[in-house]
Structure 1
Amino acid sequence: MEQPRTAREAATSLTERRKAATQMDIARAAAELFTEKGAEGTTTEEIAARAGVALRTFYRYFRSKQDAVGSLLSSGGDRWRALLARAGTDMGLARALESAAVDSLSGAGGVGEEEGLRWTRGLLRAAQEDPALRAVWYRVNQESEQELLPVITRLAGPGADPLETRLLAAAATDAIRVALETWALADTEADGNDSPAELVVRCLRELTGGLRLLASGPRV
């Protein structure tokens, strides 16, 4: 039976939720301004003002204005890994990767996914002109690859070659990245031809098609 939380634990949980909400408010404000004016044309003071927080609060959470949008850029990868983690080991890696990627990018989950794609498109367009924002995007992808590796390792089974699982984690992460970058710079809709979901399937098949791990399935 679950033990009731103490008053201190409840207060800590509430404080953490408030911090997370403030960070997300700042991230969305930064994303809006970057989309409207570009990262270079946006100041931290403007971001703080739009988010309704003091400048010192901004710097309590983020080192720079570009860092503020890291959580938005990583949200799609978080959804993808969560969906993939729920896949059964009998599903097959190739099918599991594609299914989770399509579900996370198709907008089928509702407003959250649609909003996430909208933010991603605006931020990736802004990143074309801002090296620091591109660096945040590349960091997000590197972290996603590292977090994807144990998920793929479990699905591949105990007999899988660690080199192959690491290579697959890198290739799958790059497939998502390239698909999103390609879509972001085009004018297609999120659910039409050349949608993120359609592009990611193409990229996954191109980048992972030659991997033995996918062809052979889980090894036991």
Structure 2
Amino acid sequence: MAPPALPRPSLTERRKAATELAIARAAARLFAARGPGGTSAEEIAHAAGVALRTFYRYFRNKQDAVAPLLARGPERWRTHLAAAEPGPSVAELLERSVVKALSEPDDCTAEGLRWTRGLLRAAAGDPALRAVWYRVNRQSEERLVPLLSELAGPDAEALQVRLAAAAATDAVRVALETWAGTDAPVGDPDSPAELALRCLREVTCGVGLFTGHRISG
């Protein structure tokens, strides 16, 4: 049975997300220009056009401000998974959805990958920023579990589902980190989509959920 469609956010939720994203983009621009160590929360708030108290209403610290930007890719991935059609195996569906999320020819995807590359490079010298990246991936893994459970059906073991979510999330994380350390363009053979596909195929061969479950109607 295909998973239910994700609920549409309310107007308040959309406005909140827009404010968070504006702050995240301002923080990413400043981090790219000055590094996290050379950027203050006050400067991020000013660049985003919000009051400092508004900044702290949304985020605990300056590094935390980029979390919404880093989370957009996983959100696109889960959206594709939620729209899955019956038929493909779980492994095939994961591959298709990840490749689509990382290679869609639109400005949003390209911008997101540029931000991610810059932030991962900045995170190399900033433990707090790395912690935000790892937290975003952990949250993505947790949100992937119920989707994979729906896709795999009632016969799937909870342990298999959790292992599959962890393996898939880490495969994509490693692919993005590897790509961020290069100057390869999005459409290169070493693009994020191609690297993610390679990583997924390396890890899925040993996970039971990926080898035997197909999506039913």
In the superposition, the TM-score normalised over structure 1's length comes to 0.89
Quick one: which of 159, 178, 182 aligns to 1:182?
Answer: 178
Contact 1:105/1:196 (<8 A) preserved:
yes
Query: How many residues matched?
Result: 207
2:137 counterpart letter in structure 1: N
> Deviation of residue 107 (structure 1)?
3.1
Quick one: which of 77, 82, 97 aligns to 1:85?
Answer: 82
Quick one: which of 33, 52, 56 aligns to 1:55?
Answer: 52
> Deviation of residue 44 (structure 1)?
0.9
Contact 2:149/2:161 (<8 A) preserved:
yes
Matched, 1:208 2:204: yes
Contact 2:86/2:215 (<8 A) preserved:
no
Structure 2 equivalent of residue 166 of structure 1: 162
| Percent identity of equivalent pairs | 60
Q: How does 1:106-121 map to 2 (within 5 A)?
A: 106-108=103-105, 110-121=106-117
Q: Taking CA–CA contacts closer than 8 Å with sequence separation of 6 or more, which of the two structures ends up with the larger relative contact order?
A: 2
Structure 1 equivalent of residue 17 of structure 2: 20
Matched, 1:193 2:166: no
The runs of 5 or more residues in structure 2 that have no matched partner are 1-9
Contact 2:175/2:192 (<8 A) preserved:
yes
CA RMSD of aligned residues (A): 1.6
Structure 1 equivalent of residue 6 of structure 2: none
> Deviation of residue 60 (structure 1)?
1.7
The runs of 5 or more residues in structure 1 that have no matched partner are 1-12
2:77 counterpart letter in structure 1: W
1: CA distance, partners of 2:171 / 2:92: 15
> Deviation of residue 20 (structure 1)?
2.9
Structure 2 equivalent of residue 105 of structure 1: 102
| Further displaced range: 208-217 or 17-26 | 17-26
